[in-house]
C-alpha cells in the first residue's frame, strides 16, 4: 500500500513539475538538417555597425573618427529663450542655431572656457576666461 501511494505521489509530482509531455514522451528528437548552401554567396560585416552596440554610441564613434566632434557651443550659436524654475533650481533655457533646446544650470560649461555663472529670473550671467582673467557677461531674456 505504501509503495502504491509513493509511486502515485512521485508520478503526480513529476506531472506537476516537469509536465506530462516530458514524463511520458519517449520520442527522440533528431537535429534539423540545413538546406543547401549557395557557394556564390558570401557575407562580410566590414564597414557595418555592431548590432549589439547602442546606436548613439556608434554615431559618437563615427564622429570621433571623422573629427567632427564638437567641443561645446560658442555664445553666438545660442539664443536665450527663458529661465525655468524647478523647486529651488533655476535653468537657463537656450536654443542653438538648428532649433535644438538646451538647459544649463549654474556651473554648467558651454564650452572649454565659458560657463554659466548665475541664473536669475530676468537674466543669465555667463563667465569666460581670457588669459587668466575671468570676465562676466550678463544676458537678458528677450521680450517680444
pLDDT at 91: 93
CA distance 26 to 7: 20
Which of 53-57, 101-105, 125-129 shows the lowest mean pLDDT across its residues? 53-57
CB neighbour list of residue 96: distance below 8 Å, 6 or more residues apart: 73, 77, 78, 79, 102
Q: Where are the domains of the chain?
A: 75-140
pLDDT at 39: 76
Cα Rg, the chain, nearest whole Å: 33
- Rounded to two decimals, the pTM is 0.50
CATH, domain range 75-140: 2.30.30.830
Per-residue pLDDT tens digits for 23-75:
455 555 666 666 667 778 777 888 777 788 787 777 777 766 655 445 688 88
CA distance 71 to 65: 15
Instruction: Report the percentage of the chain scoring pLDDT > 70.
Output: 69
Amino acid at each position: 500500500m505504501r509503495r502504491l501511494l509513493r509511486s502515485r505521489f512521485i508520478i503526480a509530482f513529476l506531472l506537476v513539475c516537469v509536465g506530462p509531455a516530458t514524463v511520458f514522451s519517449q520520442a527522440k528528437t533528431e537535429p534539423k538538417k540545413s538546406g543547401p548552401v549557395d557557394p556564390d554567396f558570401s557575407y562580410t560585416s566590414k564597414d557595418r555597425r555592431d548590432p549589439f552596440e547602442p546606436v548613439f554610441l556608434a554615431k559618437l564613434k563615427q564622429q570621433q573618427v571623422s573629427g567632427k566632434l564638437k567641443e561645446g557651443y560658442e555664445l553666438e550659436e545660442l539664443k536665450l529663450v527663458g529661465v525655468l524654475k524647478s523647486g529651488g533650481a533655476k535653468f537657463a533655457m537656450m536654443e542653438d542655431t538648428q532649433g535644438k533646446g538646451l538647459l544649463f544650470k549654474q556651473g554648467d560649461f558651454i564650452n572649454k572656457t565659458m560657463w554659466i555663472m548665475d541664473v536669475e529670473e530676468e537674466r543669465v550671467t555667463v563667465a569666460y576666461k581670457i588669459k587668466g582673467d575671468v570676465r562676466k557677461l550678463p544676458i537678458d531674456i528677450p521680450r517680444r
